[in-house]
Amino acid sequence: MFKGHPKALYALALANTGERFGYYTMLAVFALFLRANFGLDAGVAGAIYSTFLGLVYFMPLVGGILADKYGYGKMVTIGISVMFLGYLLLALPLGGDTLAMIAMLGSLILIAIGTGLFKGNLQVMVGNLYDDPKYADKRDSAFSLFYMAINIGALFAPTAAVEIKRWAEESLGFDGNAAYHFSFAVACVALIVSMAIYYVCRSWYRHVEGGKSGSKSAAVQVGDELTPAETKARIVALCLVFAVVIFFWMAFHQNGLTLTYFADEFTVKEAFGLQSMAFSVWNLVLVIVAVYAAFSLFQSKSGKGKVVSLAALAASVGYLVYKGLNVGDASVAVSAPIFQQFNPFYVVALTPVSLAIFGALASRGKEPSAPRKIAYGMLVAAVGFAVMAFGSQGLLTPNEQAAAVKAGADVQLVSANWLIMTYLILTFAELLLSPMGISFVSKVAPPKYKGMMMGGWFVATAIGNALVSVGGFLWGGIPLTIVWTVFIVLCLLSALFMFVMMKRLESATK
């Protein structure tokens, strides 16, 4: 699984892991911070949240255009510096007045600009590594591994955000609003680590940075052979994919908005027994160790490797069994942001499973094309929201729930398992769509427009994130089953569109 890739892949992936850890630590509590610190209602907070997400994913288009002219490495360097300034400003506890609001919005703009220069161009550099014929057949698996690394950072982010906020409140005496800024400060530290990794290992990938200092990749040299008709066909195919992923991200990124609202307002606040183990990130890490050790046990070709893998597998499973047998009746507090750890956990744990399945299909010549995987991902996403619709039957509307809580009446809360199951299903969809989509862009994009086309992927993501606010505005007087049905229908229509356009999409990759 990890063999046969250039070492530059792992350095770039780790640099991105640090940046994503900081980003998702901030994002885990951001919507709740807006409501608590500024007294905003769900709709307005959702609008700010989704607009920020939209900017974060729109700016890579600008960053890509600049990188095509000035070099990917230069834009990555500028981007990470600008991001740091944005997180630093957000970490300052300025209160909840107009000045604080202006400063907060300014920090979001800096973060969005910096991310736009950094994120897409780093991924173009990864793709450029695989323009080398030596590595060309490992492009999809490379982006799966790269995507897994992103989610390692995201896995620890909710716990970091919650725990450092709690520490600031309980040990330092800060009130709830000021304590949020300690969560944001984590992002500053994470970016420093990211910078260090990028510059220490820079010699490994300087040849794919572009610009005057970087040599042209093999793809750029071949790119001159593309006819205008071929270039147009590729761009059209990419735009069709972009149109579909808009609706995936609109639905998927409800994890930071309506799914977080659901966790906060409709989900039981305590977990008992075996279920409580799921809310410790360290238990999730042990599960990941067990999964990777099991794969290593079967894939290792040396006796020593098998012994080490078996020992890691036995130790992790044994400890989890021991904890399960001794969990007792003690309860664990469940806060809304902590649910966001499940998606990255599933991504990291299921990536080797995904690679094994598609590797086996590829060896038989039956692996689905990237566009077909994206279509399947939309169908799976619809199933995820169907689970939420089923689990929300009989619940009050959010407005009715809030009124009942305010009146001191008993309200119905549901098991955390509904959200845990939904995140699992949505992760299956994400693994089919996101890393495969990025790989598709890096492969199909005309070489002279690689930065721009990778930016186009993020623009589609940006539009989807801007539309996340639809969930916030639906959250109120509308029954929850209808809220989730909106996303079910959008995912199903998007999948249908992909299947209708499949021949055209697949022909562009040949």
What is the 3-state secondary structure of 231-291?
HHHHHHHHHHHHHHHHHHHHHHHHHHCHHHHHHHHHECCEEEHHHHHCCCHHHHHHHHHHH
* Tokens representing residue 171 in the block: 């040990």
Could you give the CA distance from residue 324 to residue 420 in angstroms, rounded to a whole number?
Answer: 18
Could you give the CA distance from residue 123 to residue 211 in angstroms, rounded to a whole number?
Answer: 16
Phi, psi angle pair for 174, to nearest 5°: -75, 150
Kindly write down the DSSP assignment for every residue of 340-363, as one continuous string: GGHHHHHHHHHHHHHHHHHHHHHH
Listed in sequence order, the residues at least 6 apart from 100 whose beta carbon sits closer than 8 Å to its beta carbon are 37, 38, 94
Look at residues 189, 191, 242 and name the one whose alpha carbon lies nearest to residue 76.
191
Q: Are 197 and 15 in contact (CB under 8 A)?
A: yes
Q: What is the pLDDT of residue 365?
A: 84
| Strand partners of residue 230 | none
Q: Are 288 and 313 in contact (CB under 8 A)?
A: no
Q: β-strand 270-272 against 331-333: which pairing, if any? A: antiparallel
User: CB burial class (10 A; 0-12, 13-18, 19+) of residue 10?
Assistant: middle
Kindly write down the DSSP assignment for every residue of 54-86, as one continuous string: HHHHHHHHHHHHHHHHH-HHHHHHHHHHHHHHH
* Tokens representing residue 400 in the block: 């009715």
Q: What is the pLDDT of residue 446?
A: 86
Kindly write down the DSSP assignment for every residue of 203-224, as one continuous string: GGTGGGS-TTTSPPPHHHHHHT
Could you give the CA distance from residue 143 to residue 435 in angstroms, rounded to a whole number?
Answer: 6
**Burial letters for 168-188: b for 16+ Cβ neighbours within 10 Å, e otherwise?**
bbeeeebeeebbbbbbbbbbb
Q: How many beta carbons lie within 10 A of that of residue 423, not counting itself? A: 22
Q: What is the pLDDT of residue 329?
A: 79
Q: What is the pLDDT of residue 220?
A: 44
Q: How many beta carbons lie within 10 A of that of residue 102, not counting itself? A: 11
Could you give the CA distance from residue 140 to residue 127 in angstroms, rounded to a whole number?
Answer: 10
| pLDDT by position in tens, the chain (length 510) | 667 788 889 999 999 988 888 888 888 888 888 888 898 887 888 888 878 877 887 888 899 889 888 888 899 999 999 999 999 999 888 888 889 999 999 999 999 999 989 988 898 898 888 887 887 778 878 888 888 888 888 888 878 888 888 898 888 888 778 888 888 888 889 889 998 999 999 889 888 887 654 444 444 444 456 788 888 888 888 998 898 889 998 999 898 789 989 999 999 999 988 899 999 888 999 999 999 899 888 888 888 888 999 999 999 999 999 999 988 777 888 888 788 889 889 988 998 888 888 888 888 888 888 889 999 999 999 999 999 999 999 999 999 999 999 999 989 999 999 999 999 999 999 988 888 888 888 888 888 888 888 888 888 888 887 788 899 889 989 999 999 999 999 999 999 999 998 888 888 766
Separation in Å, CA 86 to CA 104, 121, 384: 9, 19, 34
Q: Find tokens 């205008």 and name the residue.
A: 228
| Cα distance between the two ends of the chain | 26
Look at residues 116, 113, 112, 77 and name the one whose alpha carbon lies nearest to residue 209.
77
Q: Where are the alpha helices (DSSP H) in 91-227?
A: 98-129, 139-170, 176-200, 218-223
Look at residues 492, 469, 487, 272 and name the one whose alpha carbon lies nearest to residue 392.
487
Could you give the CA distance from residue 289 to residue 286 in angstroms, rounded to a whole number?
Answer: 5
